[in-house]
Chain A
Amino acid sequence: MTATSARPADLRAERMAARIRGVQDFVRRFARRRDGLVGVAILVVFGALALAPSLFVGPLQTATTASGTSLQAPGLSHLFGTDELGRDLLNLTVHGTRISMTIGFLATLVTILIGATIGIVAGYLGGTTDTVLMRITDFFLVLPTFVLALILAPIVLDLVGADAEIAGFRATLFVIVLVIGVTSWASTARIIRAQALSVKERAFVARARVIGAGGGHIMLRHILPNVLNLIVANVVLTFAGAILTETVLAFVGLGDPLDPSWGQILNAAEGAGAPGLGAWWYILPPAGSVVLVVLAFTLVGTALDDVLNPRLRTRR
């Protein structure tokens, strides 16, 4: 994508300046949205925790390295209390951040990649390709995709084997990522296709075709940049959805106890009977983290929508 043809240098500089102006304008408008900024602040905190959990709370505690006794209420030695194995819940939750955010991030990538590809291809090519792709998309839109994820996950898990390890993460993580991605791309594809349909009728696409540009080139260099704002807005909502889906999948027992996400901690809490025992500190940290992060994404999402979508700016 970086190789540009021999274009006059001043034209390129001008385009660059226009792009920078656009970004500055965007930042200025976004900065005026207080809810969006709150969302960004929350995400920055959790992002930092996700990047280097050990820096904040030390390595992940296991049954053998647990630092407390069983189900201690929050106190000075354990600010968030301990679980039934005596593991510190602050430690678990912060390490859970890494897993949950990683799954959310990767699943979003997969979702957007599938959704954007199908949307752009269907919108640009039209005809039979469009009809077939949109039939499949509609099918996935109607289907209760969570239930599909629920049966797909154990099948793929059994096929792969849960003990494999890739890039420091256990295989379960990638299976969950794949399953979430494969089941939640449909609405993205629909939105992107609608935009691609209108972009391909614009004059610059016709011009590109006249000078002999191929379909792949047009889709990548002309359609994609013009649906990018939709993709950005979609990333935010997809991320929130992916984190929620992962939480529920892990809660019903499809997570990996050795790579505990927030949902996995909640699954353990349920297994230990924490709600019935009144062990609120076992549930509050992971559940609160899920709510905060999803809420932050929703706030950023609505703010972005307002900033990126001029039609909405007068409303609300």
Chain B
Amino acid sequence: MSGRYLLRKGAQALLTIAFILLLNFLLFRMMPGSPDRVLARNMPAAAHQQLQERWGLNKPLIPDQLVAYVTATVQGDLGDSYKFRGQSVVDVLSQRIWPTVLLFGTGELIAVLVGLSLGAYSGWKRGGPVDYVGNGISLILYSMPYFVIGMILLIVFSAGLGLFPTSGMYTIAATYHSPLDQLLDLASHFALPLTTVAIGLIGEYSILMRSSIIETLGEDYITTARAKGLPDGAVLRDHALPNALLPAVTLVAINLGYVIAGAITVEVVFGWPGIGTLTVDALNARDYPILQGIFLLLSVSVVLANFVADLVYGALDPRVRT
């Protein structure tokens, strides 16, 4: 990979993050009910002016306030939560991020493995029974918001069959005799949300992979491989799959932004104590500092994921290394 490619992609990612910071700054200056405006109603003008001076609110929005905001953000100071009193946004976010990483990391892994294999197989056997049924199911799953999948699973397996708990990460106020007990409790709470995430993503990824492999099968080098008399398995394994995987994997990274939307709702359905439930709680309480922090966290993660995907693509495909 050439240094120029790396540099260009890196600069793009940095520029995007700078845009995100600017947007975050402007958006939340627009918001109603800022502490400053609330205070202005309840205090004498002189005292209010003094406060404004202390907070730097009398200075111009750009550059002074923007510089102050960016400096604080870069130093890891995202302000304090309204709802969780006495806790900084960074504290709240760092408590909530691990359940989300666990849920979506595992779900993403399962979905990539199953979804890509399923898509590759049904694209390879296009028009066959697996393709027909698989594609139909994928299309329906694709049209279904994740939380609906979760609700259906809850109705069938928790309310109907009573196999799994309905909410949370652990049984409330449970005492465990051994770490194994605790792990089992976690697993029973984890099963349904994980299945929901995996099912939702499998539909998406198998559609991606299916069209990618169909595209690849139309290429001349596949015809060449067949003409050389290679067996079907070798054509698929050595010629079609490696080339079809590349765009599919990139699309997986690009799709991360949409996955996040699903993440938020799945967590709400299962009361999973991650970033998703935090978002909805913060929305209902209009806890703007938290929302601002979540927006920053999620969008920067997506930008970084795209950057990594670009690098992987560049490393694997010599054609884009310019």
Spell out A's residues near B (CB within 8 Å).
138-139, 142-148, 150-152, 154-155, 158-159, 240, 244-245, 247-248, 251-254, 266, 269-270, 274-280, 283, 287, 290-291, 294-295, 298, 315-316
- Whether the Cβ atoms of A295 and B139 lie closer than 8 Å is yes
The secondary-structure label for the interface of chain A is helix
Assess whether A252 is in contact with B268, with CB atoms less than 8 Å apart: yes
B143 adjacent to A275 (CB under 8 Å): no
User: B155 touching A278 by the CB < 8 A rule?
Assistant: yes
Which chain B residues lie closer than 8 Å to A139 at the CB level?
Answer: 16, 19
Q: Is the CB of B145 within 8 A of A248?
A: yes
Q: Are A251 and B145 in contact (CB under 8 A)?
A: yes
Which of B20, B31, B158, B218 is in CB contact (< 8 Å) with A158? B31
Tell yes or no: B30 within 8 A of A by CB: yes
- Additional pairs, 7, CB under 8 Å, beyond known A144-B257, A276-B166: A139-B19, A145-B257, A147-B257, A151-B27, A154-B283, A253-B280, A283-B148
B261 and A251 form a contact (CB under 8 A): no
- Evaluate whether A143 and B20 lie within 8 angstroms (CB atoms) in the complex, with A154-B283, A276-B159 already known: yes
**Is there contact, CB below 8 Å, between B158 and A252?**
no
Take A252-B265, A276-B166 as given contacts and tell me if A298 and B142 are in contact as well, using a CB distance cutoff of 8 Å.
yes
Chain B residues lying within 8 Å of A278, measured Cβ to Cβ, are: 155, 159-160
Residues of chain A within 8 A (CB-CB) of B284 are: 253
Chain B residues lying within 8 Å of A295, measured Cβ to Cβ, are: 139-140, 143
Q: Nearest chain B CB to A111's CB is how many angstroms away?
A: 16
A275 and B283 contact, CB distance less than 8 A: no
B19-42 toward A: CB 8 Å interface, digit per residue (1/0)? 110010001101111000000000
- Report Cα–Cα, A142/B255, bound state, in Å: 10
Q: Which of A150, A244, A287 contacts B151 (CB 8 A)?
A: A287
Interface positions of B from 8 to 64, Cβ below 8 Å from A: 16, 19-20, 23, 27-28, 30-33
- Interface residues, chain B, CB within 8 Å of chain A? 16, 19-20, 23, 27-28, 30-33, 139-140, 142-145, 147-148, 150-152, 154-155, 158-160, 166-167, 214, 218, 256-258, 260-261, 264-265, 268-269, 279-280, 283-284, 286, 288, 291-292, 294-295, 298-299, 302-303, 306
Which B residues touch A275, using CB under 8 A?
A: 150-151, 154-155, 158-159, 166, 269
Asked if A283 and B265 make an inter-chain contact with CB atoms under 8 angstroms apart, the answer reads no
Cβ-defined contact, A247 with B32, below 8 A: no
- Contact present for A283 and B268 (CB under 8 Å): no
Out of B20, B31, B142, B294, name the residue touching A155 (CB < 8 Å).
Answer: B31
Task: Pick the contact of B145: A148, A279, A290 (CB < 8 A).
Answer: A290
| A245 contacts across to B, CB distance below 8 A | 261
Whether A147 pairs with B298 at a CB distance below 8 angstroms is: yes
Q: Which residues of A contact B261 (CB under 8 A)?
A: 144, 146-147, 245, 248
Main secondary structure of the interface of B (DSSP, over half): helix
Is B299 a contact partner of A147 (Cβ separation < 8 A)?
Answer: yes
Question: Which residue of the partner chain, among B30, B152, B256, contacts A283 with CB atoms under 8 Å?
Answer: B152
Pairwise interchain contact A252-B295, C-beta atoms closer than 8 A: no
A251 touches B27 (CB 8 A): no
Q: When A and B form their complex, which 8 residue pairs have the shortest distance between CB atoms, in order from nearest?
A: A278-B159, A144-B257, A146-B261, A294-B143, A275-B154, A276-B166, A158-B32, A295-B143
Task: Give Cα A287–Cα B291 distance, bound, in whole angstroms.
Answer: 28
Can you list 10 contacts pairing A with B, beta carbon distance less than 8 Å? A139-B19, A144-B299, A145-B257, A146-B260, A251-B145, A270-B147, A283-B152, A294-B143, A294-B144, A295-B140
State the CA gap A155–B160 with chains docked (Å): 40
Residue of B151, B265, B294, B302 touching A143 (CB-CB under 8 A): B302
What distance in Å separates the Cβ of B270 from its nearest Cβ neighbour in chain A? 9
The verdict on A291 contacting B144 (CB below 8 Å), with A144-B261, A151-B292, A158-B286 known, is yes
Q: Which residues of B contact A291 (CB under 8 A)?
A: 140, 143-144, 148
Neighbouring A residues of B218 by C-beta, 8 Å: 315
Question: B33 touches which one: A138, A145, A158 (CB < 8 A)?
Answer: A158
Residues in A neighbouring B30, C-beta threshold 8 A:
155, 159
| B151 and A290 form a contact (CB under 8 A) | no
What are the residues of chain A within 8 A of B32 when measuring CB–CB?
A: 155, 158-159
Q: Are B264 and A240 in contact (CB under 8 A)?
A: no
User: What distance in Å separates the Cβ of A186 from its nearest Cβ neighbour in chain B?
Assistant: 11
Residue with the greatest number of chain B CB neighbours at <10 A, chosen from A158, A275, A298: A275
Would A276 and B142 count as touching, CB distance under 8 A?
no
CA distance A263 to B174 in the complex (A): 35
Whether A315 and B145, one on each chain, are in contact in the complex, defined by CB atoms closer than 8 angstroms, is no
Cβ-defined contact, A298 with B143, below 8 A: yes
B261 to chain A, nearest CB (A): 4
Residues from chain B with a CB closer than 8 A to the CB of A254 are: 283
Q: How far is the CB of B140 from chain A (nearest CB, A)?
A: 6
| Nearest chain A residue, comparing its CB with the CB of B259 | A144
Cβ–Cβ < 8 Å partners of A298 in chain B:
139, 142-143
Nearest chain-B residue to A292 (Cβ)?
B143
Contact status B155-A155, CB under 8 Å: no
